[in-house]
């Protein structure tokens, strides 16, 4: 495997995860692409240009190029408007490949259904296999919508069905997602490859919690509950605020110590949600306990995790949940929704706790069982680090490269059959 073309239409790997459309997928692409390059594979990532100031080509890391393809207006284009720009984006991708000799790329790997549509055409034009990672699936999301969230459009459902039918390999994060591809999208089981995401075990490590709290201006004896992620109904950041209010009702003495960190930026259908969360906290009488922070990355994000007693991941759906894994690698137990891939990312009763549903009392009990019990929290913290070490981006990357080889072999057999 010499060269890989990665397609990420709607979000650039250069963007800060935690706001807009940037999230776990961005982390996934950056981490796997850089590790492929370290193994001698040349990687080119195609993404839509969102500013006239962006260079046509940028270096993400040695051996990894990001190509900014002009497709539609640079700014003010919502993700739901991007299907109308797929033709322009595809033209830009094909143009870049046309400058090279035929067979320049060995495989094309598309991320999210918009990229899959482009990858489908690139596969036909370049005569190379298409590997696709959905990251989220419309039919699954629509089965578990938050009360105020909008369903995914039929356009996306149809687009996903087409990509599933055409891809040579479908990468699923977990066995649950693999089953969803087969059951909901009639995917060929032989083409579905389960590859769990990883965690950066050099960046996300246990450390000095007192020092990290001091750096964030948090009292040493505070009880810190943390949400990290994009602010949108799907992620349900309101659940930690509701649970905190319930905890204070149950134990009024906790008010002087309790802190809720909400770390992230607005995204998708949650563009007004920050104001709604502030209003919610005020209405529940806990506005003084809630602190909002912008998206964090690198060492700053690890500091937030280490400063926390518990990290909450109350999503209505997650194909995996990288935040849960990163927090655990830092030695912080996680309370998560028992949905999607989170039961894989979090070991219930071992590295954290899983909660069925979104009832504030149930979340309050799960959070306080860990946050208010130092001995139990310490036990879970040790297990959390051990659990996180079962995952690594190196392992993910090697599994992807194996999948690319399998897809290429199958593709050649079909072509020359």
Q: Which residue ranges are tagged as binding site for Mg(2+)?
A: 305-306, 308, 332
Structural tokens at position 138: 């419309």
Q: Decide if 110 contacts 135 (C-beta within 8 A).
A: no
d(CA 349, CA 376): 10
SS3 content of the chain, % helix, strand, coil (to 5): 50, 20, 35
Q: Which residues are annotated as a binding site?
A: 10, 16-17, 21-26, 79, 112, 136, 156, 230, 235, 296, 305-306, 308, 318, 326, 332
Contact 83, 114 (CB under 8 A): yes
What tokens appear for 34 in the block?
């850089």
The whole-angstrom separation of Cα 12 and Cα 15 is 6
Nearest to 162 by CA among 114, 90, 108, 128: 114
Q: Which residues are annotated as a binding site for 1D-myo-inositol 3-phosphate?
A: 10, 21-26, 79, 112, 136, 156
Query: β-strand 57-61 against 64-69: which pairing, if any?
Result: antiparallel
* Residue 228 β-bridge partners: 263
Binding residues for UDP-N-acetyl-alpha-D-glucosamine: 16-17, 24, 230, 235, 296, 318, 326
Q: If residue 282 lies in a helix (H) or strand (E), which one and from where to where?
A: helix 273-283
Q: Starting from the edge strand earliest in sequence, which strands make up the sheet with 57-61, in order?
A: 57-61, 64-69, 42-48, 3-8, 107-111, 130-133, 169-172, 192-194
Write down the residue that tokens 């005569």 correspond to.
127
Please state, in angstroms and rounded to a whole number, the distance separating the CA atoms of residues 10 and 80.
10
């Amino acid at each position: 495997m010499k060269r890989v073309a990665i397609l990420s239409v709607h979000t650039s790997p250069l963007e800060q995860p935690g706001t807009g459309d940037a999230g776990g997928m961005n982390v996934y692409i950056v981490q796997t692409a850089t590790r492929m390059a370290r193994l001698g594979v040349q990687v080119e990532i195609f993404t839509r240009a969102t500013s006239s100031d962006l260079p046509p080509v940028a270096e993400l890391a040695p051996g990894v190029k990001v190509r900014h393809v002009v497709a539609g207006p640079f700014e003010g284009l919502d993700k739901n408007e991007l299907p109308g720009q797929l033709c322009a984006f595809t033209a830009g991708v094909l143009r870049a490949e046309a400058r090279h000799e035929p067979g320049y790329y060995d495989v094309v790997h598309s991320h999210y259904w918009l990229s899959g549509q482009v990858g489908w055409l690139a596969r036909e034009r370049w005569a190379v296999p298409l590997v696709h990672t959905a990251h989220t699936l419309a039919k699954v999301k629509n089965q578990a919508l938050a009360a105020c969230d909008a369903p995914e459009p039929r356009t996306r459902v149809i687009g996903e069905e087409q990509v599933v039918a055409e891809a040579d390999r479908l990468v699923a994060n977990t066995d649950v997602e693999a089953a969803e591809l087969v059951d909901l999208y009639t995917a060929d089981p032989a083409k579905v490859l389960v590859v769990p995401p990883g965690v950066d075990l050099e960046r996300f490590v246990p450390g000095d919690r007192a020092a990290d709290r001091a750096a964030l201006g948090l009292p040493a004896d505070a009880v810190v509950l943390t949400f990290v992620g994009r602010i949108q109904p799907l992620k349900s950041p309101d659940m930690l605020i509701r649970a905190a209010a319930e905890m204070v009702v149950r134990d009024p003495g906790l008010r002087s110590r309790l802190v809720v960190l909400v770390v992230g930026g607005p995204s998708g259908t949650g563009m007004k949600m920050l104001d709604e969360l502030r209003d919610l906290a005020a209405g529940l009488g806990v506005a003084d306990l809630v602190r909002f922070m912008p998206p964090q990355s690198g060492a700053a994000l690890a500091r937030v995790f280490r400063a926390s007693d518990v990290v909450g991941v109350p999503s209505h759906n997650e194909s995996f949940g990288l935040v849960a894994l990163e927090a655990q690698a830092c030695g912080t137990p996680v309370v998560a929704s028992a949905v999607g891939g989170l039961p894989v990312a979090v070991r219930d009763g071992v590295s954290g706790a899983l909660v069925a549903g979104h009832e504030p009392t149930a979340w309050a009990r799960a959070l306080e069982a860990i946050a208010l019990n130092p001995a139990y929290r310490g036990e879970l913290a040790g297990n959390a680090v051990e659990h996180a070490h079962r995952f690594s981006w190196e392992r993910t990357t090697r599994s992807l490269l194996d999948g690319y080889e399998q897809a290429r072999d199958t593709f050649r057999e079909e072509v020359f059959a």
